Structure 1
């Protein structure tokens, strides 16, 4: 029987040094500690503001809860789900600086992120934006024209290899996600640079702040190790397809069976040049 195993390539995480400050208050993979370190280096506006959507209940895996509750920031928390919005308002009912908004963020007026934020009085250069909508994250950031946050944390799909640029269709009914490489390209087009990654979040600051973090090389290959979540598909001479690396559907915990992804039936697979 054939043997398949993935040999992990060594990864130098020294350029992604901010990840060493990872810790959680309510965040999922260390974002709270990294955010604190970034603002320790970069500073905040005199009256700091943060924005998060989808905010869910305002606490579970939130990247803003620590800033709002423990640091006293102003905030805009946006959640489309009516039931979760009720929980969100309960979470922040004793925090008058927090604006809870029950809206579905779209790419154009009247429900674009710019439109929603313009109704709150938030500064155009507010301090922190967290984007996590499990699909249209790229398009929401792309649509943001009037506001320029000083730090953006945005979710990407960690199963997509570093060398692939993938942007999901701008469709609210899809939950595909986008590649980190696509986010980096969008960030550069908008004047932002990558300064840190966690397993599925990228941290971006305006390019004028990038030098503060003394990162010599923020290319994707120095900032993110794509091996843990990647699925490797390869071809054998006879047309058989095999998989290595991560061999299960990450968000469903279902194994990926190689015999169910074949293009050519086993009975007719052969090496074309074989005599």
Structure 2
């Protein structure tokens, strides 16, 4: 049972529970040296736990296939947990030589369930991916979604899916706590609204509805006034009207 970022939130993660409460053997991968040393101390008395100090990537040099090949773990081990604050999608996507029975992947909980988003495959970027994108990837790899707990999506190999007796595995059904999602929409008159979380959770900064307005109040009306719209365009971006003016002049010169 391998886990990347195993030392993070040690007493709260599923990996620690399986090791401590159920006696699982494990491969724990941690790139940060200080956290790795803490990991070593935590499991020093457990011979069935192997710790690896390496950042997990998605290339032939640093992917899970390469790292796990240096361990005795079987190809169809029981449980894989990926929690690296960004590139989880790419790490799982790049893993082809191993097919764990259950996979737990962290997702970005600010992204609505119907949105498919994948951050760039870049270790310096920390944006995460949506649960919808992970579900799409999982199905391509032969997995089905069986649970969403907190910011983690759990998948099982399709051949074992029926054993979990999940009658409806749509994201909207399994992901019930969407408190961190912010919704943005507009009225017919062009006013922009925010609902839901309305903040950047990891920065603790609020999102301002007033600062998101694309047009000033005097333009917001329905049906919209063509005259007011043109006045606004002329004031905010006068160069954008030049092509229209040229077209009108051509009519009179031809």
TM-score range relative to shorter protein: 0.7 to 0.9
Distance 1:267 1:202 in 2: 42
Q: Give the CA deviation at 1:58.
A: 7.5
Q: Give the CA deviation at 1:262.
A: 2.9
Q: Is residue 162 from structure 1 mapped to residue 113 from structure 2 by the alignment?
A: yes
Q: 1:109 to 1:79 in 2, by over 3 A?
A: same
Q: Is residue 241 from structure 1 mapped to residue 206 from structure 2 by the alignment?
A: no
Q: 1:229 — aligned with what?
A: 180
Which structure has the highest helix share of the two? 2
Q: Give the CA deviation at 1:216.
A: 2.1
Distance 2:8 2:106 in 1: 18
Deviation sequence 1:47-96 (CA, Å, 0-9, x none): xxx11111135724332112222322111010000111111111111111
Q: 1:82 — aligned with what?
A: 33
Q: Give the CA deviation at 1:183.
A: 0.7
- Identify unmatched segments of 5+ residues in structure 2: 228-254
Distance 1:149 1:193 in 2: 13
Distance 1:70 1:198 in 2: 19
Conserved 8 A contact 2:189-2:224: no
Distance 2:8 2:143 in 1: 29
Q: 1:70 — aligned with what?
A: 21
Distance 1:227 1:99 in 2: 36
Q: Give the CA deviation at 1:267.
A: 6.3
Q: Is residue 183 from structure 1 mapped to residue 118 from structure 2 by the alignment?
A: no
Matched pairs, number:
225
Q: Give the CA deviation at 1:114.
A: 0.6
